[in-house]
Amino acid sequence: MSAIFSPGKLMLTSEYFAIDGALVLAVPTRLGQEFFFEENDDERSLILWKAYHQNTLWLTAVIDYEKWQVLETNIPSAAAFILKTLQNVQQLSTLKFKDNLTYHLKTNLQFPADYGLGSSSTLMNNLAEWAQIDPFHLNAVSLGGSGYDIAVAKEKSAVLFQSKPEIAYEKVNFDPSFKDELIFIHLNQKQDSREGINLYKSKTKYPELVNEFSNITKKILLCSELDNFSELMMIHERKIADFLEIPTVKEKIFPDCPSFVKSLGAWGGDFVMSAKFGGFKDYFSEKGFTTIFEWENIINL
């Protein structure tokens, strides 16, 4: 079988404000999602789908793509999502699901599902690369969202991304001199992004605030010292907390942490970023957070 790989992502800046066009800095992770494919000319018009999670099979589906029906599956709800997504692929592609072929398609998500590193975006990008279609278009009709995660998966690089007035992004070399001082802590749960987005959308927004986050992103990209980086991250966190009218993750969980603590992506779950300090492993572990990555172990630059 041939294979395609897309990396996961971590969103370092702008969080919810990405929806309204704030400039985002996002980086790729070492772990991502693999996609394996093989096509057989046996005139059955079938898709044989197998999805693995960390090399363990969790979903199987047999789909008739002439009638677009799930013939067999072990998880009907998940198979229904795959069917709809592959229907979208067919509509956007001039190559796939046009002839009476049998498609053997297999995915393998390399990271735990609650890491929030982009199980959906990596799938969308893999399918788009395979079908030679626009991944942003496929993502828009299948899932929605700003698309920053698609940009990271597509470019396999750190990116500066903006969703408005139209999607625009560029690969950047974000390789801070203090990267070995940064750490990423998992909060033992996956945050529901849609819940956070709904809260964000319920608030009145001002263009000046979107611009402020874009300016913070630009400054962060140019940081050469950890102290300056830390200060900008604290300013960023405070501005979003004030806007959403909710406490920061540091106020809520780590009030006595001697370093900054910055939410990454949807607030309330997934990963946070901080900086090393004396006894940092013991500090986070004593609070129940034992999954701690250093830069080189999670970021793929």
- Is the pTM value of this prediction over 0.85? yes
Q: Is pLDDT of 193 > 80?
A: no
Task: Residue 56: name the closest of 115, 4, 113 by CA.
Answer: 113
Residues 6 or more apart whose Cβ sits within 8 Å of residue 208: none
Going 106 to 110 to 115 to 121, the CA torsion angle's sign is negative
Question: Which range, of 40-44, 122-126, 172-176, 257-261, averages the lowest pLDDT?
Answer: 40-44
Q: How far is CA 52 from CA 36, 37, 58, 275, in A?
A: 11, 14, 6, 34
User: What structural domains does the chain harbor?
Assistant: 2-171 (3.30.230.10), 179-298 (3.30.70.890)
> What is the reported pLDDT for 191?
63
Task: Residue 17: name the closest of 244, 247, 275, 280 by CA.
Answer: 244
> What is the reported pLDDT for 106?
98
